[in-house]
Amino acid sequence: MVAKELEALLSENRRFKPSEEFQSKANATSDAYKESSEDRLGFWAKQSERLTWFEPWTEVLDWKPPFAKWFIDGKLNACYNCVDRHLKTWRRNKAAIIFEGENGDGRVLTYQDLYREVSKFANVLKSLGIKKGDRVTIYLPMIPEAVIAMLACARLGAPHSVIFGGFSAESLKDRINDAQAKVLITSDGSFRKGNVVPLKANADTALLGVNCIEHVVVVKRTENKVQMQEGRDLWYHELMKDAKIVCPAEPMDAEDMLFILYTSGTTGKPKGVVHTTGGYMVGVSTTHDWVFDLKEDDVYWCTADVGWITGHSYIVYGPLANGATVFMYEGTPDYPAKDRFWELIEKYRVTILYTAPTAIRTFMKWGPNYPQERDLTSLRLLGSVGEPINPEAWIWYHKYIGGERCPIVDTWWQTETGMILMTPLPGVTETKPGSCTVPFPGVKMEIIDQAGNPVPKGSGGFIVAREPWPAMLRTVYNDPERYVSTYWSNWEGVYFAGDGAKWDEDGYFWILGRVDDVINVSGHRIGTAEVESALVDNSMVAEAACIGKEHDVKGQAVVCFVTLKEGFKVMDGLDDELKKHVAKKIGALARPEDIFFTAELPKTRSGKIMRRLLRDIAEGRALGDVSTLADASVLDFLKKKYNEEE
């Protein structure tokens, strides 16, 4: 895959310069690169002035690799920065959140409204015994209550753990247990393409395997019938009715935990990525302001779910800290029709759109008629995140959505990085379709080879960072050893992001995808080990190996190779059963596209499955290095079988 992408990218010669008009009004100028390269810490010190601090910090950075502390001794509150401080300005009555539901219902919350709802809900949480340091799990649809709940936790200093509403009961259970959360916030259901996903019922199933949850707060959204367990389960609207409006924001140390967010790793157990308060808030507010060139009258729409890092950093904390108007949509792009996004942009005059390549590829598949029949002239800037955007999709986005006038910011970052690390600055950087261009000011990234040496321009290697950045993850929850071994052990004192990249003669970065076994479906990382564990969980399955196979729309699709236990034969419908099983265990996202049954899997002599070779087979390539393979005949069998069934 790497070699092929490299070739395709090499032939990309198109260039796009910011227009003079855009340049002349842009929030960030090229001085930012100069200033930050002369004095990196001074640069971040200056950016920290964007926030309101209860007590000033005394030192910018304390760096004892791989543990970083930013803005030492500083005290602040993330919720205060996103809400309260705007009330002292004209923004008090500015729309903070413009919401539209899947069914077309809507709500607007001004900053004043948001303050009221968040403070009341913080008091509700307090009344349920939540205090600074307690963990709260949030399992909600894309509705304003999700943001309110996050900010209410931040107000009290209670780290939240948001679980994407598409995750199964099983995944929810594991994540609640890992965080040892005391309260779970969910809803009766969530709307999905006209149906109701029973979130509360999923939560009930999850809680059968959980002991730490004391209360479940249930938001009424879909009005479907739910079971309420006496003493444990409480309705949000009832609790909110009498809640007091005044709830002081807890002063937090810059290094106090703001949230935990679970992300897949290469081993079965998801990692609880820990983000803290000061550095994270400085990082996300600075990048949000400059990358999206935020103006007071913008209507900003990030289409991610709040359950992912993109939602945390660029729906909630970055934009609200900057006093933005955030548009929030509950549903999918194809319900009730395939022009839903364009209808919403036309209706709310959205000016900034931040979405994912998988969505763009879907729109491409549906054809340009849908956007062409809507007025998209309000748009002035487009963003992309989650996967490499292939040049064709970039050009399509530019032409049909951006009307050839909007700069595109292709932003590279991760759950772990917390903030955008590589991106164009829209009024400064000349863009090349398919490249995330260069590191953000104040961020240093390198591409190195196996030996740890920087590769020359024009070559590929591993993307790494030697210097910490403010929003960097601080640890893996309750597992600092895993933090060190996962991120800092490939090369001494070097953060390895897990991605391969190439840089070109101009020093632009081109992401080549992940070098480990994680599968990226529609921009969401799914660990092979998790899918494999789910398959092996079935009583007939002996062993499984999962890989990501290139997919036109999803970027990658999950393909599984499965061996059955002795005594079991492949029967009609078994593959469907296993697919369903995976979806139930992990969530619909992980549902395998194809399952192949085989007597053996290719393994190294030490017994490790060689997924790389399975990828070669699935993508019809000549096999790579087979020298470590234990039994070569396995491959011939698999190749034949694969080609027969494809």
Residues engaged in binding ligand PRX (CB under 6 A): 263, 309-310, 385-388, 410-415, 436, 497-499, 511, 514, 525
Closer to ligand PRX by CB, 35 or 504: give it. 504
What are the CA-CA distances from residue 35 to residues 43, 44, 287 (Å)?
A: 7, 10, 16
What are the CA-CA distances from residue 20 to residues 17, 289, 426 (Å)?
A: 9, 20, 11
* Residues forming a β-bridge with 556: 550
CA angle 605, 607, 608 (to 5 degrees): 105
Q: How many CA atoms lie within 13 A of 147 on its CB side?
A: 31
162-191 residues labelled b (16+ CB within 10 A) or e (exposed): bbbbbbbbbbbbbbbbbbbbbbbbbbbbbb
Closer to ligand PRX by CB, 322 or 556: give it. 556
Q: How far apart, in whole angstroms, are the C-alpha atoms of residue 428 and residue 26? A: 8
What are the CA-CA distances from residue 136 to residues 164, 181, 221 (Å)?
A: 14, 5, 20
Closer to ligand PRX by CB, 574 or 586: give it. 586
Closer to ligand PRX by CB, 302 or 638: give it. 302
| Least distance from ligand PRX to the Cβ atom of residue 514, Å | 5
Rg of the chain taking only CA atoms, in angstroms: 24
Yes or no: say if 279 and 269 are a contact pair by the CB < 8 Å rule: no
115 three-class SS: helix
Closer to ligand PRX by CB, 60 or 511: give it. 511
Closer to ligand PRX by CB, 155 or 525: give it. 525
Q: How far apart, in whole angstroms, are the C-alpha atoms of residue 62 and residue 74? A: 13
| Least distance from ligand PRX to the Cβ atom of residue 201, Å | 27
| Least distance from ligand PRX to the Cβ atom of residue 562, Å | 26
Question: What are the backbone dihedrals phi and psi of residue 431, each rounded to the nearest 5 degrees, phi first?
Answer: -100, 155
First to last CA, the chain: 19
| Least distance from ligand PRX to the Cβ atom of residue 382, Å | 13
Closer to ligand PRX by CB, 501 or 614: give it. 501
| Least distance from ligand PRX to the Cβ atom of residue 310, Å | 5
Say if strands 475-476 and 446-448 run parallel, antiparallel, or are unpaired: unpaired
Q: How far apart, in whole angstroms, are the C-alpha atoms of residue 437 and residue 425? A: 9
Closer to ligand PRX by CB, 176 or 497: give it. 497
Residue 37 token pair: 């390269």
Residue nearest to ligand PRX (CB): 415
| Least distance from ligand PRX to the Cβ atom of residue 474, Å | 16
| Least distance from ligand PRX to the Cβ atom of residue 302, Å | 11
| Least distance from ligand PRX to the Cβ atom of residue 104, Å | 29
Closer to ligand PRX by CB, 182 or 514: give it. 514
| Least distance from ligand PRX to the Cβ atom of residue 134, Å | 26
| Least distance from ligand PRX to the Cβ atom of residue 97, Å | 21
What are the CA-CA distances from residue 442 to residues 32, 34, 222, 469 (Å)?
A: 8, 10, 45, 8
Tell whether the torsion through CA atoms of 608, 454, 510 and 25 is positive or negative.
Answer: positive
323-357 residues labelled b (16+ CB within 10 A) or e (exposed): bbbbbbbbbebebeebbbbbbbbbebebbbbbbbb
Closer to ligand PRX by CB, 402 or 498: give it. 498
Closer to ligand PRX by CB, 216 or 464: give it. 464
What are the CA-CA distances from residue 474 to residues 43, 198, 274, 332, 487 (Å)?
A: 21, 34, 6, 33, 11
| Least distance from ligand PRX to the Cβ atom of residue 526, Å | 10
Closer to ligand PRX by CB, 207 or 448: give it. 448
Task: Please give the sequence-ordered ranges of beta strands (E in DSSP) within 349-444, or none if there are none.
Answer: 352-355, 381-385, 408-411
283 three-class SS: helix
Yes or no: say if 322 and 289 are a contact pair by the CB < 8 Å rule: yes
| Least distance from ligand PRX to the Cβ atom of residue 356, Å | 8
Closer to ligand PRX by CB, 528 or 598: give it. 528
Closer to ligand PRX by CB, 5 or 145: give it. 5
| Least distance from ligand PRX to the Cβ atom of residue 420, Å | 8
509: closest CA among 428, 448, 419? 448
| Least distance from ligand PRX to the Cβ atom of residue 410, Å | 5
